[in-house]
């Protein structure tokens, strides 16, 4: 196999942090073995990691799928004459009522880039940051002033269960 072919193959199955992509068919309600050929249909969701898919399973148990937006784009800083826009793509936006949303971010690894964007979110959109839940595979590793507070997947399930009970 040539190097270019190998790089192309890697791009289709592995994310930037060497996680395997997970493809899920919403209609068939099953995980696909391989990436479908061609463009993805609206029924197929690509998750960046197995952990992100597990977070989706927890959310899906509490909310209908039509209330969940995947990889929702938030503009942190608009484009100016001298700089490009800064955008943050939150993994899940869940519609809880007509005008209310929960934002859920699945983080296996908290990078500096993600930490900076979350700080920007606090400044530019404090209402969104107040409704953001960061779910981490290992939340005990991320503590202190440099990292935002995060929860485990089990605690996320508890938070969503209590939220649904109140509303």
Is the separation of the CB atoms in 25 and 32 below 8 Å?
yes
DSSP 98-130: TTEEEEEEEESS--HHHHHHHHHHHHH-HHHHH
Do 156 and 94 belong to one domain? yes
Torsion sign across C-alpha atoms 122, 124, 130, 134: negative
- 38: three-class secondary structure by DSSP: coil
Instruction: Report the pLDDT value the prediction gives residue 89, as an integer from 0 to 100.
Output: 92
Nearest to 56 by CA among 153, 167, 166: 153
Token pair of 91, please? 């993994």
**Domain housing 59:** 50-166
Do 59 and 33 belong to one domain? no
| pLDDT digit string, tens, across residues 89-115 | 999 999 988 888 999 999 877 777 888
Do 30 and 65 belong to one domain? no
DSSP state of 152: -
Task: Write down the pTM of the prediction.
Answer: 0.81
pLDDT band at 1 (very low <50, low <70, confident <90, very high): very low
CA end-to-end span of the chain: 56
Do 72 and 124 belong to one domain? yes
Q: How many domains does the chain have?
A: 2
């Amino acid at each position: 196999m040539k190097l270019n072919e190998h790089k192309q193959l890697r791009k289709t199955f592995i994310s930037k942090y060497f996680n395997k992509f997970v493809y899920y068919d919403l209609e068939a309600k099953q995980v696909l073995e391989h990436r479908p050929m061609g463009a993805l249909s609206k029924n197929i969701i690509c998750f960046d990691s197995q952990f992100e898919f597990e977070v989706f399973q927890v959310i899906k148990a509490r909310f209908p799928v039509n209330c969940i937006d995947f990889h929702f784009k938030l503009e942190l800083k608009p484009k100016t004459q001298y700089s490009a826009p800064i955008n943050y793509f939150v993994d899940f936006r869940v519609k809880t009522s007509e005008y209310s949303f929960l934002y859920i971010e699945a983080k296996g690894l908290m990078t500096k880039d993600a930490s900076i964007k979350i700080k920007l979110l606090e400044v530019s959109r404090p209402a969104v940051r107040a409704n953001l839940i960061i779910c981490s595979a290992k939340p005990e590793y991320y503590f202190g002033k440099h990292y935002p507070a995060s929860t485990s997947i089990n605690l996320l399930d508890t938070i969503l269960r209590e939220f649904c009970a109140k509303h």
